[in-house]
Amino acid sequence: MAEAAAQTAPSPSSFISDVKTLRERARRHIEEGAVTPSYGADKDLVLRLLNEALATELVCVLRYRRHYFLAAGALAEAVKKEFLVHAQEEQAHADLIAERIVQLGGEPNFDPEGLAGRSHSEYVAGKTLTDMLREDLIAERIAIESYTEMIAYLQDKDATTRRMLEGILAVEEEHAEELASMLQKV
């Protein structure tokens, strides 16, 4: 009875490598740090996408900070606070992404030369409060689209990067929702 059950149960070794194999694989290419042979994504592609996301976040920091300092008008005080919070949250996203790029053996690109070109969203200065809110909302919607696509590509190929991006995506969705409701009030 016990023997029959043992024969039909799937062997754990069919999906988990044995200790010897795991240890051997970890010893190979130790210069690659956190990237082991079981890393399933195209690392160069992931690094390029993450550097584009980094540029996007940095452009968002700059745009939100400009909007924070320039927001004026009757409703500006509440909106200003929101711009500052968003700028700080985009900076935190940039830091998370830069850290992950280094973990994957890449280099975060902070070069101001070409920053706007690498970014998915544009830097639109915006003059009135309505312009600013609209441009910020457009930028958030671009970020939501690009993070959603990156998450769909990564799936289980690089679960750590995917989870990080899922966390960032949730914040971008909050930003977009807040901007849309503020836009209705101005």
Euclidean distance between CA atoms 71 and 82, whole angstroms: 11
Distances 109 to 48, 50, 138, 181, 186 between C-alpha atoms, Å = 10, 10, 24, 34, 37
Please tell me whether residue 135 binds Fe ion under the rule CB under 5 A.
Answer: no
Residue 75 or 85: the one with the smaller Cβ distance to Fe ion is 85
Residues with Cβ < 8 Å from 11, sequence gap 6 or more? Answer: none
Under the binding rule (CB under 5 A), the answer on residue 63 touching Fe ion is no
Between 52 and 57, name the residue whose CB sits nearer to Fe ion: 57
Q: What is the dihedral of CA 23, 25, 26, 30, to 10 degrees?
A: 140
Shorter beta-carbon distance to Fe ion: residue 158 or 172? 172
Question: Residue 73: which H helix or E strand, with range?
Answer: none
The minimum distance between CB 135 and Fe ion, in angstroms, equals: 12
* Residue 162: CB minimum distance to Fe ion, A: 16
Binder among 90, 136, 158, 178 for Fe ion (CB under 5 A):
90
- By CB under 5 A, which span of 16-24, 86-94, 99-107, 128-136 interacts with Fe ion? 86-94
Does the footprint of Fe ion cover residue 82 (CB under 5 A)? no
Our CA angle for 27, 98, 135, nearest 5°, is 150
Q: Which is nearer to Fe ion, 82 or 140 (CB)?
A: 140
Q: Does 52 bind Fe ion (CB under 5 A)?
A: no
CB count in 10 Å sphere of residue 160: 13
Q: Which residues bind Fe ion (CB under 5 A)?
A: 57, 90, 93, 140, 172, 175
